[in-house]
Structure 1
Amino acid sequence: MPPIAPLTTLDPRYSDEKATASDWSQAVARLSSAEVFWLSTVRPEGRPHVTPLIAVWHDGGLHFCTGAEERKAKNLRDNQEVVLTTGANALNEGYDVVVEGTATRVSDEKRLRALAAAYVEKYGTDWTFEVRDGAFAGDGGPALVFRVEPRTAFGFGKGDPYAQTRWQFTQ
Protein backbone atom coordinates (compact mmCIF):
# COMPACT_ATOMS: atom_id res chain seq x y z
CA MET A 1 0.00 0.00 0.00
CA PRO A 2 1.35 3.49 -0.80
CA PRO A 3 2.41 5.65 2.12
CA ILE A 4 -0.35 7.67 3.73
CA ALA A 5 1.45 10.95 3.08
CA PRO A 6 3.10 11.11 -0.35
CA LEU A 7 5.43 13.93 -1.32
CA THR A 8 2.95 16.59 -2.43
CA THR A 9 3.89 19.57 -4.59
CA LEU A 10 2.04 22.29 -6.46
CA ASP A 11 3.45 23.06 -9.89
CA PRO A 12 3.46 26.87 -10.14
CA ARG A 13 3.87 26.74 -13.92
CA TYR A 14 0.34 25.38 -14.27
CA SER A 15 -1.30 26.84 -11.19
CA ASP A 16 -2.92 30.13 -10.33
CA GLU A 17 -0.90 32.15 -7.80
CA LYS A 18 -3.73 31.75 -5.25
CA ALA A 19 -3.87 27.94 -5.69
CA THR A 20 -2.72 25.48 -3.06
CA ALA A 21 -1.76 21.83 -3.40
CA SER A 22 -4.57 19.36 -2.87
CA ASP A 23 -4.26 16.80 -0.11
CA TRP A 24 -3.92 13.16 -1.23
CA SER A 25 -7.04 12.28 0.77
CA GLN A 26 -9.05 14.51 -1.60
CA ALA A 27 -7.69 12.59 -4.58
CA VAL A 28 -8.53 9.27 -2.91
CA ALA A 29 -12.10 10.49 -2.36
CA ARG A 30 -12.35 11.35 -6.06
CA LEU A 31 -10.85 8.01 -7.11
CA SER A 32 -13.25 6.19 -4.79
CA SER A 33 -16.36 7.91 -6.13
CA ALA A 34 -15.48 8.15 -9.85
CA GLU A 35 -17.58 5.87 -12.01
CA VAL A 36 -15.61 5.89 -15.28
CA PHE A 37 -11.86 5.73 -15.80
CA TRP A 38 -9.71 5.79 -18.93
CA LEU A 39 -6.97 3.16 -19.01
CA SER A 40 -3.89 3.77 -21.17
CA THR A 41 -1.70 0.79 -22.09
CA VAL A 42 0.91 0.18 -24.77
CA ARG A 43 0.45 -2.30 -27.63
CA PRO A 44 3.28 -4.77 -28.36
CA GLU A 45 4.48 -2.69 -31.33
CA GLY A 46 4.56 0.47 -29.16
CA ARG A 47 1.34 2.21 -30.19
CA PRO A 48 -0.86 3.53 -27.37
CA HIS A 49 -4.23 2.03 -26.51
CA VAL A 50 -6.85 3.87 -24.44
CA THR A 51 -10.18 2.49 -23.30
CA PRO A 52 -12.87 3.46 -20.78
CA LEU A 53 -13.62 1.08 -17.93
CA ILE A 54 -14.88 0.92 -14.37
CA ALA A 55 -12.55 0.55 -11.41
CA VAL A 56 -12.62 0.42 -7.62
CA TRP A 57 -10.24 1.99 -5.13
CA HIS A 58 -9.47 -0.61 -2.49
CA ASP A 59 -6.66 -1.01 0.02
CA GLY A 60 -4.47 1.73 -1.46
CA GLY A 61 -4.83 0.93 -5.14
CA LEU A 62 -7.12 1.09 -8.16
CA HIS A 63 -8.46 -2.24 -9.42
CA PHE A 64 -9.96 -3.10 -12.79
CA CYS A 65 -10.84 -6.28 -14.64
CA THR A 66 -10.72 -7.43 -18.25
CA GLY A 67 -11.17 -10.55 -20.29
CA ALA A 68 -7.91 -12.39 -20.97
CA GLU A 69 -8.23 -11.90 -24.75
CA GLU A 70 -9.20 -8.22 -24.67
CA ARG A 71 -6.69 -5.74 -26.13
CA LYS A 72 -5.79 -4.26 -22.73
CA ALA A 73 -5.02 -7.71 -21.26
CA LYS A 74 -2.89 -8.59 -24.27
CA ASN A 75 -1.01 -5.30 -23.89
CA LEU A 76 -0.39 -5.96 -20.20
CA ARG A 77 1.32 -9.27 -20.99
CA ASP A 78 4.27 -7.35 -22.47
CA ASN A 79 4.17 -4.02 -20.62
CA GLN A 80 2.50 -3.52 -17.25
CA GLU A 81 3.06 0.25 -17.10
CA VAL A 82 -0.32 2.03 -17.22
CA VAL A 83 -2.07 5.33 -16.66
CA LEU A 84 -5.59 5.57 -15.25
CA THR A 85 -7.41 8.87 -15.63
CA THR A 86 -10.74 10.15 -14.35
CA GLY A 87 -12.39 13.53 -13.97
CA ALA A 88 -14.70 16.05 -15.55
CA ASN A 89 -14.93 16.68 -19.28
CA ALA A 90 -15.02 20.46 -18.87
CA LEU A 91 -12.40 23.17 -19.15
CA ASN A 92 -13.45 25.61 -16.42
CA GLU A 93 -14.83 23.35 -13.71
CA GLY A 94 -14.16 20.05 -12.04
CA TYR A 95 -11.09 18.12 -11.06
CA ASP A 96 -9.13 15.48 -12.99
CA VAL A 97 -6.92 12.80 -11.42
CA VAL A 98 -4.22 10.88 -13.28
CA VAL A 99 -2.59 7.81 -11.70
CA GLU A 100 0.62 6.32 -13.10
CA GLY A 101 1.76 2.88 -11.98
CA THR A 102 2.31 -0.77 -12.72
CA ALA A 103 -0.66 -3.09 -13.24
CA THR A 104 -0.12 -6.28 -11.25
CA ARG A 105 -2.39 -9.28 -11.53
CA VAL A 106 -4.52 -10.16 -8.50
CA SER A 107 -5.23 -13.88 -8.21
CA ASP A 108 -5.51 -14.48 -4.46
CA GLU A 109 -9.09 -15.67 -3.91
CA LYS A 110 -9.54 -13.86 -0.57
CA ARG A 111 -8.49 -10.55 -2.14
CA LEU A 112 -10.66 -11.24 -5.20
CA ARG A 113 -13.72 -11.86 -3.01
CA ALA A 114 -13.13 -8.51 -1.25
CA LEU A 115 -12.80 -6.79 -4.64
CA ALA A 116 -15.95 -8.49 -5.96
CA ALA A 117 -17.82 -7.10 -2.95
CA ALA A 118 -16.32 -3.64 -3.61
CA TYR A 119 -17.62 -3.72 -7.21
CA VAL A 120 -21.16 -4.54 -6.03
CA GLU A 121 -20.99 -1.86 -3.34
CA LYS A 122 -19.88 0.79 -5.84
CA TYR A 123 -21.65 -0.19 -9.07
CA GLY A 124 -24.61 -2.32 -7.93
CA THR A 125 -25.66 -5.91 -8.48
CA ASP A 126 -25.24 -5.72 -12.27
CA TRP A 127 -21.53 -6.00 -11.49
CA THR A 128 -21.66 -9.17 -9.39
CA PHE A 129 -18.72 -11.51 -9.89
CA GLU A 130 -18.03 -14.96 -8.57
CA VAL A 131 -14.42 -15.82 -7.81
CA ARG A 132 -13.07 -18.90 -9.52
CA ASP A 133 -9.63 -20.09 -10.59
CA GLY A 134 -7.86 -16.86 -9.61
CA ALA A 135 -10.16 -14.56 -11.58
CA PHE A 136 -13.63 -13.05 -11.62
CA ALA A 137 -16.30 -15.19 -13.25
CA GLY A 138 -19.39 -13.49 -14.64
CA ASP A 139 -21.79 -13.51 -17.55
CA GLY A 140 -18.99 -12.52 -19.97
CA GLY A 141 -16.68 -15.35 -18.91
CA PRO A 142 -13.51 -15.13 -16.81
CA ALA A 143 -12.02 -11.70 -16.15
CA LEU A 144 -8.47 -11.07 -14.99
CA VAL A 145 -8.17 -8.54 -12.16
CA PHE A 146 -5.35 -5.99 -11.95
CA ARG A 147 -4.18 -3.63 -9.21
CA VAL A 148 -2.45 -0.31 -9.82
CA GLU A 149 -0.73 1.32 -6.85
CA PRO A 150 0.07 4.93 -7.57
CA ARG A 151 3.73 5.63 -8.24
CA THR A 152 3.00 9.19 -9.30
CA ALA A 153 -0.38 10.89 -9.45
CA PHE A 154 -1.52 14.30 -10.63
CA GLY A 155 -4.54 16.39 -9.72
CA PHE A 156 -5.79 19.10 -12.05
CA GLY A 157 -8.10 21.70 -10.55
CA LYS A 158 -9.97 23.51 -13.33
CA GLY A 159 -11.61 26.88 -12.92
CA ASP A 160 -10.97 29.31 -10.14
CA PRO A 161 -8.24 28.61 -9.22
CA TYR A 162 -6.48 26.42 -11.77
CA ALA A 163 -4.02 24.14 -10.00
CA GLN A 164 -1.77 21.17 -10.70
CA THR A 165 -0.80 18.99 -7.75
CA ARG A 166 1.71 16.15 -7.98
CA TRP A 167 1.83 13.27 -5.52
CA GLN A 168 5.01 11.20 -5.57
CA PHE A 169 5.08 7.81 -3.85
CA THR A 170 8.23 5.88 -3.02
CA GLN A 171 7.96 2.13 -3.55
Structure 2
Amino acid sequence: MTAPVATDIDPRYGEPDATPVPWETTEQRFADAEVYWLSTVRPDGRPHVTSLISVWRDGCAHICAGPHERKARNIAANPDVVLTTGTPALRGGLDVVVEGRVQRVTDPDELKALAAAWEEKYGADWHFDVLDGGFEGGGGLAHVYRIEPSTAFAFGKAPYSQTRYRFAGGSR
Protein backbone atom coordinates (compact mmCIF):
# COMPACT_ATOMS: atom_id res chain seq x y z
CA MET A 1 0.00 0.00 0.00
CA THR A 2 1.43 3.36 -1.01
CA ALA A 3 1.38 5.86 1.84
CA PRO A 4 2.97 9.28 1.98
CA VAL A 5 6.31 9.68 3.71
CA ALA A 6 5.60 13.37 4.41
CA THR A 7 2.47 15.50 4.78
CA ASP A 8 2.39 19.26 5.14
CA ILE A 9 -0.05 22.12 4.82
CA ASP A 10 0.85 25.35 3.07
CA PRO A 11 -0.61 28.21 5.12
CA ARG A 12 -0.30 30.60 2.16
CA TYR A 13 -3.18 28.83 0.42
CA GLY A 14 -5.66 28.33 3.22
CA GLU A 15 -7.53 29.75 6.12
CA PRO A 16 -5.68 30.31 9.40
CA ASP A 17 -7.56 27.51 11.20
CA ALA A 18 -7.04 24.94 8.42
CA THR A 19 -5.32 21.70 9.33
CA PRO A 20 -3.81 19.08 7.01
CA VAL A 21 -6.34 16.74 5.45
CA PRO A 22 -5.51 13.19 6.61
CA TRP A 23 -4.19 11.00 3.80
CA GLU A 24 -6.92 8.43 4.48
CA THR A 25 -9.58 11.09 3.76
CA THR A 26 -7.87 12.16 0.55
CA GLU A 27 -7.30 8.60 -0.60
CA GLN A 28 -10.95 7.69 0.01
CA ARG A 29 -12.17 10.79 -1.86
CA PHE A 30 -9.96 9.85 -4.79
CA ALA A 31 -11.07 6.21 -4.75
CA ASP A 32 -14.78 7.12 -4.56
CA ALA A 33 -14.76 9.64 -7.42
CA GLU A 34 -16.38 8.56 -10.68
CA VAL A 35 -14.76 10.97 -13.15
CA TYR A 36 -11.12 12.03 -13.38
CA TRP A 37 -9.02 14.24 -15.65
CA LEU A 38 -5.72 12.91 -16.96
CA SER A 39 -3.03 15.40 -17.98
CA THR A 40 -0.25 14.17 -20.24
CA VAL A 41 2.31 15.84 -22.50
CA ARG A 42 2.35 15.33 -26.26
CA PRO A 43 5.68 14.40 -27.86
CA ASP A 44 5.97 18.00 -29.15
CA GLY A 45 5.59 19.37 -25.59
CA ARG A 46 1.99 20.58 -25.81
CA PRO A 47 -0.32 19.56 -22.94
CA HIS A 48 -3.24 17.17 -23.34
CA VAL A 49 -6.11 16.70 -20.88
CA THR A 50 -8.93 14.18 -21.12
CA SER A 51 -11.63 12.92 -18.80
CA LEU A 52 -11.79 9.22 -18.00
CA ILE A 53 -12.67 6.70 -15.33
CA SER A 54 -10.23 5.14 -12.88
CA VAL A 55 -9.96 2.69 -10.03
CA TRP A 56 -7.78 3.06 -6.96
CA ARG A 57 -6.14 -0.22 -5.89
CA ASP A 58 -3.19 -0.96 -3.64
CA GLY A 59 -2.35 2.71 -3.16
CA CYS A 60 -2.25 3.56 -6.87
CA ALA A 61 -4.63 4.91 -9.48
CA HIS A 62 -5.27 2.76 -12.54
CA ILE A 63 -6.46 3.86 -15.96
CA CYS A 64 -6.84 2.21 -19.34
CA ALA A 65 -6.55 3.40 -22.93
CA GLY A 66 -6.31 1.92 -26.38
CA PRO A 67 -2.72 1.98 -27.67
CA HIS A 68 -3.81 4.22 -30.58
CA GLU A 69 -5.38 6.86 -28.31
CA ARG A 70 -3.64 10.21 -27.81
CA LYS A 71 -3.20 9.64 -24.05
CA ALA A 72 -1.54 6.24 -24.60
CA ARG A 73 0.80 7.67 -27.23
CA ASN A 74 1.67 10.52 -24.87
CA ILE A 75 2.35 8.08 -22.02
CA ALA A 76 4.63 6.05 -24.29
CA ALA A 77 6.71 9.18 -24.93
CA ASN A 78 6.58 10.59 -21.38
CA PRO A 79 5.25 8.48 -18.47
CA ASP A 80 4.89 11.43 -16.07
CA VAL A 81 1.20 12.32 -15.65
CA VAL A 82 -1.25 14.15 -13.40
CA LEU A 83 -4.64 12.68 -12.51
CA THR A 84 -7.20 14.95 -10.83
CA THR A 85 -10.73 14.79 -9.49
CA GLY A 86 -12.93 17.10 -7.49
CA THR A 87 -16.08 19.08 -7.37
CA PRO A 88 -17.07 22.21 -9.30
CA ALA A 89 -18.25 23.85 -6.05
CA LEU A 90 -16.29 26.84 -4.78
CA ARG A 91 -17.24 26.26 -1.16
CA GLY A 92 -17.27 22.74 0.18
CA GLY A 93 -15.75 19.52 -1.03
CA LEU A 94 -12.25 18.34 -1.66
CA ASP A 95 -10.27 18.45 -4.90
CA VAL A 96 -7.44 15.94 -5.29
CA VAL A 97 -4.40 15.99 -7.57
CA VAL A 98 -2.10 12.98 -7.95
CA GLU A 99 1.21 13.41 -9.77
CA GLY A 100 3.03 10.27 -10.70
CA ARG A 101 4.71 7.99 -13.16
CA VAL A 102 2.80 5.48 -15.27
CA GLN A 103 3.70 1.81 -15.54
CA ARG A 104 1.84 -0.60 -17.79
CA VAL A 105 0.14 -3.53 -16.05
CA THR A 106 0.40 -6.83 -17.95
CA ASP A 107 0.29 -9.49 -15.23
CA PRO A 108 -2.84 -11.60 -15.95
CA ASP A 109 -3.80 -12.01 -12.28
CA GLU A 110 -3.47 -8.28 -11.60
CA LEU A 111 -5.45 -7.50 -14.77
CA LYS A 112 -8.24 -9.85 -13.65
CA ALA A 113 -8.38 -8.15 -10.25
CA LEU A 114 -8.46 -4.73 -11.90
CA ALA A 115 -11.18 -5.78 -14.36
CA ALA A 116 -13.27 -6.93 -11.39
CA ALA A 117 -12.59 -3.61 -9.61
CA TRP A 118 -13.72 -1.61 -12.68
CA GLU A 119 -16.96 -3.59 -12.94
CA GLU A 120 -17.61 -3.38 -9.19
CA LYS A 121 -17.18 0.40 -9.24
CA TYR A 122 -18.85 1.30 -12.54
CA GLY A 123 -21.25 -1.59 -13.19
CA ALA A 124 -21.72 -4.19 -15.92
CA ASP A 125 -21.38 -1.59 -18.70
CA TRP A 126 -17.69 -1.52 -17.79
CA HIS A 127 -17.01 -5.26 -17.94
CA PHE A 128 -13.58 -6.11 -19.33
CA ASP A 129 -12.11 -9.44 -20.37
CA VAL A 130 -8.37 -9.93 -19.92
CA LEU A 131 -6.72 -10.55 -23.28
CA ASP A 132 -3.23 -10.10 -24.73
CA GLY A 133 -1.83 -8.23 -21.72
CA GLY A 134 -4.71 -5.77 -21.46
CA PHE A 135 -8.48 -5.31 -21.40
CA GLU A 136 -10.98 -6.08 -24.12
CA GLY A 137 -14.44 -4.64 -23.68
CA GLY A 138 -15.86 -4.50 -27.17
CA GLY A 139 -13.82 -1.56 -28.37
CA GLY A 140 -10.56 -3.37 -29.02
CA LEU A 141 -7.54 -3.91 -26.82
CA ALA A 142 -6.88 -1.36 -24.08
CA HIS A 143 -3.61 -1.09 -22.20
CA VAL A 144 -3.94 -0.84 -18.44
CA TYR A 145 -1.71 1.54 -16.52
CA ARG A 146 -0.81 2.02 -12.86
CA ILE A 147 0.01 5.53 -11.68
CA GLU A 148 2.51 5.39 -8.81
CA PRO A 149 2.07 8.62 -6.82
CA SER A 150 5.10 10.83 -6.30
CA THR A 151 3.21 13.85 -4.93
CA ALA A 152 -0.45 14.43 -4.21
CA PHE A 153 -2.43 17.48 -3.14
CA ALA A 154 -5.76 17.87 -1.37
CA PHE A 155 -7.46 21.23 -1.83
CA GLY A 156 -10.03 21.70 0.91
CA LYS A 157 -12.81 24.21 0.38
CA ALA A 158 -14.44 24.29 3.82
CA PRO A 159 -12.14 25.56 5.23
CA TYR A 160 -9.83 26.41 2.34
CA SER A 161 -6.55 24.51 2.60
CA GLN A 162 -3.76 22.94 0.58
CA THR A 163 -2.26 19.73 1.89
CA ARG A 164 0.73 18.18 0.13
CA TYR A 165 1.69 14.50 0.41
CA ARG A 166 5.10 13.26 -0.71
CA PHE A 167 5.77 9.60 -1.46
CA ALA A 168 8.95 7.53 -1.31
CA GLY A 169 10.79 7.75 -4.60
CA GLY A 170 8.96 10.93 -5.58
CA SER A 171 11.10 13.72 -6.93
CA ARG A 172 8.60 16.57 -6.77
Q: State the TM-score, normalizing by the size of structure 1.
A: 0.96
> Take 1:64 and 1:161, find their aligned partners in 2: how far apart are those partners?
31
Contact map agreement 1:21 1:163 (CA 8 A) in 2? yes
The structural deviation recorded for 1:5 is 4.6
Match of residue 168, structure 2, among 140, 145, 170: 170
* Unmatched segments (≥5 aa) in structure 2: none
> Take 1:27 and 1:6, find their aligned partners in 2: how far apart are those partners?
15
> Take 2:72 and 2:4, find their aligned partners in 1: how far apart are those partners?
31
Aligned to 2:120, the other structure's residue is in SS state: helix
Aligned to 1:151, the other structure's residue is in SS state: strand
Contact map agreement 1:6 1:24 (CA 8 A) in 2? no
> Take 1:95 and 1:165, find their aligned partners in 2: how far apart are those partners?
11
Amino acid at match of 1:170: A
Q: Which residue of 2 aligns with 1:112?
A: 111
> Take 1:5 and 1:169, find their aligned partners in 2: how far apart are those partners?
4
Q: Deviations over 1:122-143 (max 9, x none)?
A: 0001000000110001111100
> Take 1:105 and 1:63, find their aligned partners in 2: how far apart are those partners?
9
Q: Which residue of 2 aligns with 1:69?
A: 68
Q: Which residue of 2 aligns with 1:57?
A: 56
Q: Which residue of 1 aligns with 2:125?
A: 126
Amino acid at match of 2:26: A
Aligned to 2:143, the other structure's residue is in SS state: strand
Q: Percent identity?
A: 57
> Take 1:165 and 1:148, find their aligned partners in 2: how far apart are those partners?
20
The structural deviation recorded for 1:31 is 1.1
Q: Which residue of 2 aligns with 1:92?
A: 91
> Take 1:42 and 1:30, find their aligned partners in 2: how far apart are those partners?
26
The structural deviation recorded for 1:93 is 1.9
Q: Deviations over 1:29-85 (max 9, x none)?
A: 011100000000000000000000000000110000001100000101110000000
Amino acid at match of 1:25: E
Amino acid at match of 1:74: R
1:145 aligns with 2:144: yes
> Take 2:28 and 2:93, find their aligned partners in 1: how far apart are those partners?
14
* Unmatched segments (≥5 aa) in structure 1: none
The structural deviation recorded for 1:94 is 1.2
How many residue pairs match? The answer is 169
Aligned to 2:90, the other structure's residue is in SS state: coil
Q: Over the residues paired in the alignment, what is the CA RMSD in angstroms?
A: 0.9
Q: Which residue of 2 aligns with 1:34?
A: 33
Q: Which residue of 2 aligns with 1:78?
A: 77
Please identify runs of 4+ aligned residues in structure 1 that moved more than 2 A.
none
